[in-house]
Amino acid sequence: MQLSSLIDLLSKRAPSIVVFTLCAALLNTFLDAPVWLSSTLAVVVASLAFLLFAARGVHRGVDGTEQLGFAHNRSWLSWELAGKGTPPGSYVLAFFGFLTIALTGFDSPGARPAWAALALGVAWGIANRHYPADEDDAL
């Protein structure tokens, strides 16, 4: 397989990886799993987040206003609230990521996978964003 197809597969599977990692973080904390288990999971998921962000987050171009059908006099916030910016489900993943971090303890070893899952969710949202290119309309 080519690297681009692996990145596309990672981008497609990122939300389910985030959900799995958040559940694993909760189980790690409540079952007192070994620290090496949560640290290893956190390193793997954080590496996936970095890979996705490096491959698609920075290099992905934004479409022009003509391609998006972007109406004039709309701000970034109204574009985002209309559900046209970040992919569907990104705010739900972020909410449950923060909830899992709060339940596991912000600085505990069990929270490491949750932080990594939150990073993967943010990288997925950035990699799949869809904003207009014009600076005056986007801001």
- The C-alpha atoms of residue 89 and residue 121 are separated, in whole angstroms, by 10
Instruction: Report pLDDT for 61.
Output: 47
Model confidence pLDDT, tens digit, residues 58-86:
544 444 444 445 454 456 666 666 666 67
State the average pLDDT over residues 85-104: 87
Model confidence pLDDT, tens digit, residues 99-127:
999 999 888 888 999 999 999 998 888 88
Instruction: Kindly indicate the confidence band of residue 44, based on its pLDDT and cuts at 50, 70 and 90.
Output: very high
In the chain, the percentage of residues whose pLDDT exceeds 90 is: 40
State the average pLDDT over residues 43-59: 84
Contact 111, 25 (CB under 8 A): yes
Residues ≥6 apart with Cβ < 8 Å to 124: 11, 14, 15, 18, 52, 87, 90, 93
How do the domains of the chain map onto residue ranges?
A: 12-55+74-131
Tokens of 35: 């620290």
Q: Which helix (H) or strand (E) holds 29?
A: helix 3-30
What is the residue whose two structure tokens read 């970034």?
76
Quick check: 27 pLDDT over 70? yes
- Mean pLDDT of the residues in the chain: 79
Residue among 139, 131, 134, 121 at smallest CA distance from 52 = 121
